[in-house]
Amino acid sequence: MSVLFSPIKLRSLELANRIMVSPMCQYSADDGAANDWHFTHINTLALSGAAMFCIEATHVEPIGRITPGCLGLWDDATEAALKPILASVRKHSKAAVAMQLAHAGRKGSSQRPWDGGQQIPLEQGGWQTVAPSAIAHKEGELAPLAVDAAGLVRIRDAFVDAAKRAERLGIDALELHGAHGYLLHQFLSPLANQRTDQYGGSLENRMRFPLEVFDAVRETFPADKPVGVRVSATDWVEGGWDLPQTIAFAEALKHRGVDWIDVSSGGVSPLQKITLGPGYQVPFAEAVKQATGLPTMAVGLITQAQQAEEIVASGKADMVALARGMLYDPRWGWHAAAELGGQVSVPPQYWRSQPSSHKELFGRTTFGAR
């Protein structure tokens, strides 16, 4: 029996397997609104065999976008744009749909990756970013404005408003983006947060705003639906955010009812030095799980079925979240199930694709046809 293809329950959300399609920025929205690209992308990967698909970083206010093409959920137009996409997913897929709520902070106002990814000057259509402190992400960039008290309230309320819109859309779960150098991570990391008020300095103070945002979203989103948090376990820079602080943050979230910790790393500093390799971030997820007992998701160069099975079966993490592997193989879940002896749910239009050597892959052994 494959552990990867065993069920897991997060509050009232019952998932048939331990695979999530990780949130992946597409940089293709129109003023924050989803379009036909998102229709194709989301519907395709909702049929990957993963039990849950997570919509890409969905920004809670326009200046919180990473790029001009980033997805948002801050007004009626951005909400309405997602409705037909989700309706199609619900019609054809049994996958749960999560959404990652995000704010880029000082990493906003950037070009799309395929256009170089550099900061866009104000005179070329960029915008003034905000952050915990007026410290640029890297030398030569326009420094962000330090968020004042009114700004903290505005941003927190924007997360709440997006959570309300997500609920109206029927989203099954939320993930707050507290990783990869974006705003909530910026508050956590001493490399980006050099405030001298109650939101800076000590670990307790640096955690304060991210925890306030979590509390506000958790209170807003229905109690029976799960809310998780993505974290960067380390900045990969001396004197930055690290694993012990991550565990302390996870413990604080545990007391507030967090449902999972999605454990990534890096992103807050261009000085980071990362040693890449298959599953290179899995030990971070394992450490958080062992220290807190919380459900964790492992990410980072997880590409092979046996690799994913070993991660979950050995207790290193409770789930795996795949990104690039899913883009390369949009039927990754099917192929993993075939290799591991699991089953996946697929639309009847695809039942005939079941290989004769894997007659139980779709839970069906015969097909009626004239």
**Measured between alpha carbons, how far is 227 from 221 in angstroms, rounded to an integer?**
8
Per-residue confidence (pLDDT) for residue 121, from 0 to 100: 96
* Closest residue by Cα to residue 286 from 298, 275, 276, 277: 298
**182 among known catalytic residues:** yes
- pLDDT score of 364 more than 70: no
Residue 367: the pLDDT is 52
* CB-neighbour burial class of residue 370 (10 A; exposed 0-12, middle 13-18, buried 19+): exposed
Task: Say what the pTM is.
Answer: 0.96
Mean pLDDT for the stretch of residues 69-81 = 98
pLDDT exceeds 80 at position 187: yes
With contact defined as beta carbons under 8 Å apart, do 189 and 242 qualify?
A: no
Q: What is the pLDDT of residue 369?
A: 47
pLDDT at residue 343 in the model = 94
List 27, 182, 199, 280, catalytic entry:
182
Helix (H, G, I), strand (E, B) or coil at 322: strand
Amino acid present at 2:
S
Query: What distances in angstroms separate CA 303 from CA 222, 307, 333, one per listed residue?
Result: 34, 7, 11
pLDDT in tens, 102-160: 999 999 999 999 999 999 999 999 999 999 999 999 999 999 999 999 999 999 999 99
Share of the chain above pLDDT 90, in %: 93
Question: Where does the pLDDT of residue 358 fall: very low under 50, low under 70, confident under 90, or very high at 90 and above?
Answer: confident
- Whether the per-residue pLDDT at 269 is higher than 90: the answer is yes
Between 366 and 260, the more confident residue is: 260
Which residues make Cβ contacts (< 8 Å) with residue 300, sequence separation at least 6?
264, 265, 279, 280, 281, 282
Tell me which CATH code domain 8-358 carries: 3.20.20.70
pLDDT tens-digit map of 207-245: 999 999 999 999 999 999 999 999 999 999 999 999 999
Q: Does the pLDDT of residue 370 top 60, yes or no?
A: no
Q: What does the block give as tokens for 50?
A: 């993963």
Query: Mean pLDDT, to the nearest integer, of 70-94?
Result: 98
